[in-house]
Copies of this chain bind each other. A is one copy, B any other.
């Protein structure tokens, strides 16, 4: 597979109260078109929108036609949803659409507007991604990931400081990213002293509630000028919605399986990846991701973080954008933003957070506590 990424952009992520979903999507799409230089809006043949909560929170469904109209297009358009993996799934849908030969150029948009609602409403809506028994028991996603963290600590000796080190690294990366929600660095002490949300996870172990949009233009054409960036692998896998049905809480089976398929499809191995955006909805999730993706052996990722191996200057560098943790997590936008960040890295236009000489990158987007996972592999 060789799907060209012709252009890509994100808005700033954050609490964007003065901006509507329309504003955010238009900004991301216009910037992606500008970035492509070779393609105009009229070349777009289909639109895939990654979004989770527009219906549940805002009562607005029909987002495909909603944004197609805003763009002035009459082309096929649809919303793709898989909880927090909605953006990654929209990318995968775009990849299959271009691979089918039915469409030459497609636009993939990720969008979520969350901060206009009360936090407790958002937390309840997000549990729409979980299992019935978890919801009935009053579980929240922090509590589910806290369980995973406890088992990982027990089994592999992972510590709260190891998790805090993920937050410190990602805030550092975000401090180099003007589009990040949190551009301030944090210290290990600050993370460790932050209020407990669901033990052992503290406030600074958790990704925030965010607004934002991202856009990517996929094509079967290659660019005439400049460096071509390709998606060379794209795979999805699923698992039980609830944790109780899983054999092992220290791994996300769907992510391992999606990675296995994406590596096979692309012919790329984990050791070849220079830079990755992974789904660090909580700091423990980044540690588990590093192991599931094969970057480090089981139980060895925490040490790698501690040693700074995944920080700018190490390899593979993880979450140069700041990740969900510090760049922000507008749910449906996240999986698309990850592709934007890797595209920029491989193109060498990632600015202060540039990974020098990056040739191969990966995105890892997870829905719920791991019921859906999407892995995309990009080549520069």
| A74 in contact with B254 (CB, 8 Å) | yes
Q: Which of B56, B64, B82 is the one whose CB lies under 8 Å from A59?
A: B56
Interface range on chain A (Cβ under 8 Å from partner): 35 or more
Contacts of A46 in B (CB 8 A): 236
Q: Is A83's beta carbon under 8 Å from chain B? A: yes
Complex CA–CA separation, A88 to B81 (angstroms): 16
| A68 in contact with B238 (CB, 8 Å) | yes
Complex CA–CA separation, A371 to B80 (angstroms): 17
Binary interface encoding of chain A residues 64-96 relative to chain B, with 1 for a CB under 8 A from any of its CBs, else 0 = 111011000111111111110000010011011
| A74 in contact with B253 (CB, 8 Å) | yes
Interface residue ranges of A216-255 to B (CB < 8 Å)? 234-241, 245, 253-254
Residue of B nearest to A237 (CB): B74
Q: Is A52's beta carbon under 8 Å from chain B? A: yes
**Smallest distance from the beta carbon of A136 to chain B beta carbons, Å?**
12
Q: Which of B73, B102, B367 is the one whose CB lies under 8 Å from A62?
A: B367
Q: Is A124's beta carbon under 8 Å from chain B? A: yes
| A82 in contact with B56 (CB, 8 Å) | no
Q: Which of B55, B239, B371 is the one whose CB lies under 8 Å from A128?
A: B55
Binary interface encoding of chain A residues 28-70 relative to chain B, with 1 for a CB under 8 A from any of its CBs, else 0 = 0000000000000000001000001101100111111110110
Contacts of A241 in B (CB 8 A): 62, 65-66, 69
Contacts of A144 in B (CB 8 A): none
Contacts of A89 in B (CB 8 A): 64, 78
Complex CA–CA separation, A74 to B76 (angstroms): 29
Contacts A76-B92, A254-B74 given; does A61 touch B128 at CB 8 Å: yes
Residue of B nearest to A64 (CB): B82
Contacts of A95 in B (CB 8 A): 100, 102
Q: Can you list 12 contacts pairing A with B, beta carbon distance less than 8 Å?
A: A55-B56, A60-B128, A62-B81, A62-B368, A65-B241, A69-B238, A73-B238, A78-B82, A78-B92, A78-B236, A79-B81, A102-B234
* Additional A-B contacts beyond A80-B81, A80-B93 (14; CB < 8 A): A59-B124, A59-B128, A61-B129, A65-B238, A65-B241, A66-B241, A69-B240, A69-B241, A74-B239, A76-B235, A96-B100, A96-B102, A99-B99, A100-B100
Q: Which residues of A contact B (CB under 8 A)?
A: 1, 46, 52-53, 55-56, 59-66, 68-69, 73-83, 89, 92-93, 95-97, 99-103, 124-125, 127-130, 234-241, 245, 253-254, 257, 367-368, 371-372
